[in-house]
């Protein structure tokens, strides 16, 4: 992903784009029902805080702050705003842990599945013994919405191993060390945790407790995650993710609840289906939480939006462009199908 985004940045810069980092947008400027630009926060690293758009404004930020903070109630219908407030963040909040070790991790004998020696240490999913354990985890995280109280032997998680990556893409750049992770575990969404948003993050004692919990659950599968081998644990709770990356509301990998009513072709509200903001001209959405299809389909949201920008005469792509086979042109607009013109 990291390499992929470098490639995209280089491509956009080569094509004349300007990227301003550390320039949070505080407000989307709207005049007479049209988005005309953005105002940056006072501490943005760019002197001039107001930037006018000569074509359009695209919000690639999470749907909730986009509507609740950057646009605000003065430009929106109260009923529509309520539906944005009602979108649920429940589920999908991940506690991430990385383990820096001296030796490569080794499976306990019962988890080996080949006769190869040394046995590869691959992506791991645990624990899949029975449905009772699954329901126990679910009842706690999604039902009661409380910190995990299942024993580490019954906690459910996945782990990306160091050996997943090609030797040319080492995850650890310190010679002689290995980094395995993330070990990702679904935990309650901090905003809904009944013991408060800081229920997993109230201080160093908490951090130590969860580090140890993650190590214990990993040691159910791995035989050498002991003090001699382990150098450091790096943790990242959902609440920390919210602060590190303002896009990650709820510390959730897909931004909003992953249920039929907020997911895929329902995502997240029908009136936003074509990425335009109702009643505000020149304002488009491009965040995984605001548009079909959503989380993990990383380029799809941008690609779909491109069709709409073409329809509205904002983008005029070159020969490289081709439309999606599922694209249905909108009557009265410029078709995104090359050569078709206005339909
Ligand atoms: C723990 C975790 C693990 C994941 N694992 C994977 C994986 O293995 N594979 C995979 O494909 N996907 C994974 N995902 C999902 C993937 O990261 C998301 O689907 C993707 O990042 C969404 O992209 P986006 O551009 O829609 O939004 P974001 O990545 O959320 O980007 C929004 C951007 O807007 C910026 N922003 C927010 N507010 C403002 C503002 N006011 N002004 C200016 N900028 C602002 C944010 O800083 C952020 O850079 C994971 C997500 C999480 C949380």
pLDDT grade for 268, boundaries at 50, 70 and 90: confident
Q: Ligand 1 center to residue 57 CA distance, Å?
A: 19
Please give the pLDDT value at position 258.
Answer: 81
Please give the pLDDT value at position 91.
Answer: 85
Residue to mutate (ligand 1; options 67, 287, 296; most atoms within 8 A of CB): 296
Average pLDDT over residues 252-277: 86
Q: Ligand 1 center to residue 227 CA distance, Å?
A: 34
Q: Is the torsion defined by CA of 235, 239, 245, 247 positive or negative?
A: positive
57 in contact with ligand 1, CB cutoff 6 A:
no
Give, in order, the Cα–Cα distances in Å from 204 to each of 151, 201, 209. 21, 8, 9
Long-range contacts, stretch 150-156, CB < 8 angstroms, 24+ apart = 152/213, 152/216, 152/217, 152/220, 153/127, 153/216, 153/217, 153/220, 154/127, 155/126, 155/127, 155/185, 155/213, 155/217, 156/126, 156/127, 156/128, 156/185, 156/186
Average pLDDT over residues 33-45: 97
For the stretch 41-83, pLDDT in tens is 999 999 999 999 999 999 999 999 999 999 999 999 999 999 9
pTM score = 0.90
Q: Is the torsion defined by CA of 309, 313, 315, 317 positive or negative?
A: positive
The tokens for 264 are 């895929």
pLDDT grade for 2, boundaries at 50, 70 and 90: confident
Q: Find out whether 149 and 140 touch, Cβ atoms under 8 Å.
A: yes
Please give the pLDDT value at position 100.
Answer: 97
What would the CATH number be for the domain defined by 2-88+256-311?
3.50.50.60
The mean-pLDDT minimum among 3-7, 70-74, 211-215 falls in: 3-7
Q: Find out whether 162 and 113 touch, Cβ atoms under 8 Å.
A: no
Average pLDDT over residues 264-288: 90
Q: Ligand 1 center to residue 25 CA distance, Å?
A: 16
Domain boundaries, the chain: 2-88+256-311, 94-247
253 in contact with ligand 1, CB cutoff 6 A:
yes
Q: Ligand 1 center to residue 32 CA distance, Å?
A: 31
Please give the pLDDT value at position 47.
Answer: 93
Q: For residue 97, is pLDDT > 80?
A: yes
96 in contact with ligand 1, CB cutoff 6 A:
yes
Q: Which atom of ligand 1 is nearest to the CA of 251?
A: 53
Of 317, 249, 291, 234, give the one whose Cα is nearest residue 93: 249
Q: 3-state SS of the chain: helix, strand, coil percent to 5? A: 30, 20, 50
Atom 4 of ligand 1 has which residue's CA nearest to it?
Answer: 253
DSSP 174-203: STT-EEEEEEEEE---GGG-TT-TTTT-SS
Of 96, 338, 76, 126, give the one whose Cα is nearest residue 238: 96
Atom 19 of ligand 1 has which residue's CA nearest to it?
Answer: 295
Helices (H), the chain: 2-14, 63-65, 78-86, 131-138, 204-219, 238-244, 300-311
Q: Ligand 1 center to residue 339 CA distance, Å?
A: 35
For the stretch 144-155, pLDDT in tens is 999 999 999 999
What's the rounded Cα separation, in Å, for the pair 36 and 52? 6
Beta-strand pair 50-52/34-40: antiparallel
pLDDT grade for 247, boundaries at 50, 70 and 90: low
Q: For residue 235, is pLDDT > 90?
A: yes
Residue to mutate (ligand 1; options 20, 40, 46, 60; most atoms within 8 A of CB): 60
Residue to mutate (ligand 1; options 70, 72, 246; most atoms within 8 A of CB): 246
Please give the pLDDT value at position 212.
Answer: 97
For the stretch 281-321, pLDDT in tens is 999 999 989 988 887 777 899 999 999 999 999 999 999 99
Q: For residue 245, is pLDDT > 90?
A: no
Q: Which atom of ligand 1 is nearest to the CA of 241?
A: 53
């Amino acid at each position: 992903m990291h390499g992929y985004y470098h490639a995209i940045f280089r491509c956009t810069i080569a094509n004349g784009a300007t990227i301003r980092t550390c320039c949070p947008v505080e407000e989307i400027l709207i005049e007479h029902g049209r988005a005309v630009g953005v105002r940056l926060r006072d501490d943005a690293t760019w002197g001039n805080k107001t930037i006018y758009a000569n074509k359009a404004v695209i919000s690639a930020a999470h749907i909730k702050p986009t509507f609740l903070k950057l646009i605000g109630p003065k430009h929106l219908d109260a009923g529509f705003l309520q539906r944005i407030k009602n979108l649920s963040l429940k589920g999908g909040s991940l506690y991430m842990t990385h383990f820096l070790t001296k030796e490569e991790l080794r499976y306990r004998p019962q988890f080996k599945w080949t006769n190869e020696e040394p046995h590869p240490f691959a992506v791991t999913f645990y624990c899949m013994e029975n449905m009772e354990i699954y329901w126990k985890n679910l009842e706690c995280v999604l039902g009661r919405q409380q910190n995990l109280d299942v024993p580490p032997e019954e906690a459910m998680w996945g782990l990306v191993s160091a050996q997943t990556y090609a030797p040319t893409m080492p995850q650890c750049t310190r010679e002689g060390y290995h980094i395995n992770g993330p070990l990702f575990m679904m935990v309650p969404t901090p905003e809904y945790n009944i013991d408060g948003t800081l229920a997993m993050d109230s201080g160093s004692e908490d951090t130590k407790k969860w580090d140890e919990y993650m190590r214990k659950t990993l040691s159910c599968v791995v035989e050498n995650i002991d003090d001699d081998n382990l150098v450091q644990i790096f943790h990242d709770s959902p609440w920390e993710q919210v602060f590190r990356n303002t896009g990650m509301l709820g510390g959730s990998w897909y931004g909003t609840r992953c249920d039929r009513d907020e997911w895929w072709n329902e995502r997240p509200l029908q009136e936003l289906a074509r990425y335009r903001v109702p009643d505000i001209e020149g304002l488009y959405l491009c965040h995984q939480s605001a548009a079909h299809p959503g989380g993990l389909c990383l380029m799809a949201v941008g690609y779909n939006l491109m069709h709409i920008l073409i329809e509205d005469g904002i983008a005029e792509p070159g020969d490289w462009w081709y439309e999606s086979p599922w694209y249905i042109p909108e009557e009265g607009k410029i078709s995104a199908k090359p050569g078709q013109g206005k339909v």
